[in-house]
Structure 1
Amino acid sequence: MTVDGYLLNLRTFREVEDGKAQALKPLEEAAEVFGAWQELDSMRRSPFFSAWRDMRDDLIDECLDTVQATVNLLAAVGATQGEVDDAIRRMDERNGSRGRL
């Protein structure tokens, strides 16, 4: 399965702060992504499809929590949409040159 991308339109939290706690939040959320993936991976051969589906939903939720934490950090440091667009372009160029896109 190939996915071309996702359209994400996320609002930032009302209160964000350019501090250590805000900077650590994406890392904390990413660790929760890995934990959710481990749970899902442990159920790959399970006959209980509903449990697998719930764990898959948990993984997706944790992924989006990580994206939200990252968006909040961008807002906390005052990143503009133009700066984010430029960073996406640079990321796409790096990934393209590495054969990932």
Structure 2
Amino acid sequence: MRDDKAQALKPLEEAAEAFGAWQNCDGIRQSQIMTARRAFRVDLIDECLDTVQATVNLLAAVGATQGEVDAAIRRMDERNCERGRL
């Protein structure tokens, strides 16, 4: 894995693509064409997961350990619980 600026920028690039997919999905949500709505929704979900993958790749590139990631997940879960989120 690379540990450079391009690697660090990848989650941002993917997040921008996720936002674009959300805009497309939001723009068609009133459509009566279910197949179109489904396709835009699938694209949005795929783009969100591309963002997650890019972030995980960055964690690997900087040498984050599974223990560090697990601890961060626990902290995130605690914050989300306090805020009433998933």
User: Shorter-chain-normalised TM-score: which range?
Assistant: over 0.9
Partner residue in 1 for 2:46: 61
| Unaligned runs of at least 5 residues, structure 2 | none
The unaligned stretches of length 5 or more in structure 1 are: 1-15
Match of 2:7 in 1: 22
TM-score (ref. length: structure 1):
0.79
Measure the CA separation in 2 of the matches of 1:33 and 1:74: 20
C-alpha separation in 2, matches of 1:44 and 1:56:
9
Q: 1 or 2, which has the higher helix percentage?
A: 2
TM-score (norm 2): 0.92
Q: How does 1:21-40 map to 2 (within 5 A)?
A: 21-40=6-25
> Pick from 20, 37, 60: which aligns with 1:52?
37
Q: What's the C-alpha RMSD, in Å, of the aligned pairs?
A: 1.1
4+ residue segments displaced more than 4 Å: none
Kindly, what percent of the aligned residue pairs are identical? Answer: 77
Aligned length, in residue pairs: 86
